[in-house]
Amino acid sequence: MHQLCFLFSLALLLGCNLEGMVPTAQKSIIPTEQEVAAGLIESLSQGMQKGTAALSVKDGFYANALVKIPFPEQAQPIQKALETIGAEKLIADTTLSLNRAAEDASGVAKDVLIQAVKALTFQDAMHILLGPDHAATEYLRTTTSDLLLTKFTPIIQMSLDKVHATRYWNDVMTKYNQINIMNVFGPAVETDLTHYVAQRALSGLFVMVEKEEKNIRQDPLTRTTALLQKVFSYADRQQAQ
């Protein structure tokens, strides 16, 4: 009789515990505010480091068709004019030097982006987490573009001088002016190389940032920790509803 009472009591106790565990189990798959922020910061920081690292090495821009900086669009008449006289090498040298300058500048982007990510509020984090595939990219574009341009500009100016881009450009303009007698190929073209490269470098940077963001969201293999799995699994469920 005592044994029967004991077993009955144990069953009741276990039953109560099991009932209490149901909402706890449900809550356990919903990340807290702190987990959402921490998970997003962790994943985006990894992505930013990877994206900027890919650009800040030799040929990071030049050999990447997604972000390669072309001969200035405003100067297309110059390019066509020089091609007519067989000056393709001068064009190629100029284009290479522009991309080298962008590669030099991109190294400073990582710290700026990561600091912006770390400054996320919970509201920002939830908006990004449950937003479209480019939500983080747009947030970073809005919050960091001005600072990045400020940091890029002196580095690009120095790099353009280092890789002789300014000299190449002067050579281009000199050659063009020699053959553009009476503005046969069009009016004179003024291109601020530093501004042009800085803007294109910034654009290329966010192309890579968006690529990494989509990879983080879409590839489960990038969710390498329990925290990331919890946060992004929650986002997947919410967006599937």
pLDDT digits (tens, 9 = 90+) for 120-146: 888 898 899 889 989 999 999 999 999
pLDDT over threshold 50, residue 42: yes
Cα–Cα dist 75/95, whole Å = 12
Give the residue, 142 or 187, on which the prediction is more confident.
142
Cα–Cα dist 91/228, whole Å = 47
pLDDT over threshold 50, residue 15: no
Residue position matching structure tokens 């990894």: 46
Closest-CA residue to 76 (of 174, 176, 1, 171)? 176
Query: To the nearest whole number, what is the mean pLDDT of the chain?
Result: 81
Give the residue, 15 or 137, on which the prediction is more confident.
137
**Tokens, residue 62:** 């030049």
* DSSP secondary structure code for residue 181 in this structure: G
**For residue 235, what pLDDT band results from cuts at 50, 70 and 90?**
confident
Look at residue 30 in the predicted model and tell me its pLDDT. Answer: 86
Cα–Cα dist 212/218, whole Å = 10
Q: Are 197 and 102 in contact (CB under 8 A)?
A: yes
- Give the CA-trace dihedral at 237, 50, 67, 59, to 10 degrees: -160
pLDDT over threshold 90, residue 102: yes
One DSSP character per residue, 193-227 reads HHHHHHHHHHHHHHHHHHHHHHHHHH-GGG--SHH
pLDDT digits (tens, 9 = 90+) for 149-168: 999 999 998 988 887 777 77
Quick one: the chain helix, strand, coil %, rounded to 5?
80, 0, 20
Give the residue, 236 or 151, on which the prediction is more confident.
151
pLDDT over threshold 80, residue 206: yes
Neighbouring C-beta atoms of residue 29, cutoff 10 Å: 10
Secondary structure class of 43 (helix, strand, coil): helix
- Give the CA-trace dihedral at 179, 181, 187, 193, to 10 degrees: 40
Q: Are 235 and 129 in contact (CB under 8 A)?
A: yes
Look at residue 208 in the predicted model and tell me its pLDDT. Answer: 94
**For residue 205, what pLDDT band results from cuts at 50, 70 and 90?**
very high
Cα–Cα dist 141/148, whole Å = 10
Q: What is the pTM of this model?
A: 0.78
Look at residue 187 in the predicted model and tell me its pLDDT. Answer: 63
pLDDT digits (tens, 9 = 90+) for 52-99: 999 999 999 999 999 999 988 767 777 887 788 887 888 888 889 899
Look at residue 88 in the predicted model and tell me its pLDDT. Answer: 86
Q: Which residues of 205-216 are buried (b: 16+ CB within 10 A; e: fewer)?
A: bbebbbbbbbbb
